[in-house]
Amino acid sequence: MKILIKNGYCLSEKEGVFDILIDGKTIQRIEKNIVENADETIDAKESIVLPFFCNAHTHLAMSLFRGMADDLSLMDWLNNHIFPNEAKYVNKDMVYTCSKLSMLEMIRSGTGCFMDMYFFEEEVAKAALEIGIKGIIGEGILDFPTPGAKSADEAISKTLSLKKEFANENIKVSFAPHSTYTLSVESLMKIANVKEDAIVQTHAGETKKEVEIVLKDKGKRPIEVLNDAGLIDSKTYLAHCVETSAKDMEIIKSKNSNVINVPQSNLKLASGVAPIYEMMMKNINIFVGTDGAASNNNQDIIEELRTMSLIQKVTSDNEKALNAKETFDIATNTPFENSGILKEGFDADIAIIKLDSFESVPIFNPYSYIAYAANSRDVATVIIGGKIILKDREFVNIDEEKVKCEVKNLAKKLGALF
């Protein structure tokens, strides 16, 4: 199928008004005035055409717990609210249905790919394949029984079978050790021994308390524990890194590893602010994620990128950090190859923002508009791997009301009002 996007203001290698011709899953041409018999033509006049956003840290199925336990510290929230409710309510159906809701919510804000860590990740993969979103899935590995596996060993072997069953160009299967406070060094080393070239995603340095627990228990900080276990390299994605020492940064930098900033969740759980501008200045690769809807409480990446930029201005020692373009670059950074930039030969992974809102008048700089003025309602169209998933603010072939209704019915069992 050929799609022609006409007259959009493209944020790509070439910035300005161009046409984009998509053939199959690939961007074939980015030029002015392309004349081609396409199957579908999108009028992008008065629109910004950009690479879609990547939500690099989430727990999609936690949409069920949105707003159920707020205004708590991380450990109280986890131990007294999240873990007990997960034991009770998380099952295959719940993960499938609630992940779908989050996927639609993400697409609505221009997100076309995600990195998820939860339980029953085969259901996340199924939902993602059905909806057409790209994703990196990871079965949560913990030393205690989870809804998805009885032990760390079982979660590790489950990850290996997920890889066999689901890994394709749109779904990547990662190892997802939960953290250094929920796993022993032995379990971490087991993962390092079997992971080969797979992506590893984990929580690290989320709070001061976590670092204290790990220091007491293992004699080292979380990043050092992971590094000594053989789990820090260029395929490792470290979510949070709020508590990051100079030595931690040195390890991350020397191993060419990746940091995922999760600003709103860190603020809401009073965890702190990750020094990501400092890390960026050290050339550490940065991504942004929302975290699950139980700690955020939404999957809106445009809100998230704004928060990321604003808090760096008051917490880093540079009041100009992160500028609008740097913010945009982080929010469109993706672990998928041939994505994250509008470029001939790259995947057609595209969002189109329609400039018909009050906040889009006037625009002097498109990056400034996205970083400081836009909101998810401005996103009109999302194309993932050459497929139109959202068009003119409507989902194509997806019954969004049905998904909302299914999650509402589940939430009623937990006492939700609506």
Which positions lie near Zn ion, rule CB under 5 A?
Answer: 291
Q: How far is the CB of 135 from Zn ion (least distance, A)?
A: 15
Q: How far is the CB of 203 from Zn ion (least distance, A)?
A: 5
Q: How far is the CB of 90 from Zn ion (least distance, A)?
A: 15
Q: How far is the CB of 17 from Zn ion (least distance, A)?
A: 40
Q: Which is nearer to Zn ion, 291 or 304 (CB)?
A: 291
Distance CA 393, CA 380 (A): 4
Q: Which is nearer to Zn ion, 90 or 383 (CB)?
A: 90
Inter-CA distances, 300 with 1, 157, 292, 306, Å: 30, 33, 11, 10
Token pair 């997920």 is found at: 162
Q: How far is the CB of 399 from Zn ion (least distance, A)?
A: 29
Q: Which is nearer to Zn ion, 291 or 300 (CB)?
A: 291
Distance CA 95, CA 274 (A): 29
**What pairing do the DSSP bridges indicate for beta strands 53-58 and 47-51?**
unpaired
Q: How far is the CB of 220 from Zn ion (least distance, A)?
A: 22
Q: Which is nearer to Zn ion, 290 or 381 (CB)?
A: 290
Encoded tokens for 13: 């290698």
> Closest CB to Zn ion belongs to which residue?
291
Q: Which is nearer to Zn ion, 201 or 309 (CB)?
A: 201
Q: How far is the CB of 71 from Zn ion (least distance, A)?
A: 18
> Within 13 Å, how many C-alpha atoms sit on residue 133's CB side?
37
Q: How far is the CB of 307 from Zn ion (least distance, A)?
A: 16
| 3-state SS record for the chain | CEEEEEEEEECCCCCEEEEEEEECCEEEEEECCCCCCCCEEEECCCEEEEECEEEEEECHHHHHHCCCCCCCCHHHHHHHHHHHHHHHHCCHHHHHHHHHHHHHHHHHCCEEEEEEEECCHHHHHHHHHHHCCEEEEEEEECCCCCCCCCCHHHHHHHHHHHHHHHCCCCEEEEEEECCCCCCCHHHHHHHHHHCCCCCEEEEECCCHHHHHHHHHHHCCCHHHHHHHCCCCCCCEEEEECCCCCHHHHHHHHHCCCEEEECHHHHHHCCCCCCCHHHHHHCCCEEEECCCCCCCCCCCCHHHHHHHHHHHHHHHCCCCCCCCHHHHHHHHCCCCCCCCCCCCCCCECCEEEEECCCHHHCCCCCHHHHHHHCCCHHHEEEEEECCEEEEECCEECCCCHHHHHHHHHHHHHCCCCCC
Cβ atoms of residues 353 and 50 within 8 Å: yes
Q: How far is the CB of 239 from Zn ion (least distance, A)?
A: 6
Q: Which is nearer to Zn ion, 122 or 291 (CB)?
A: 291
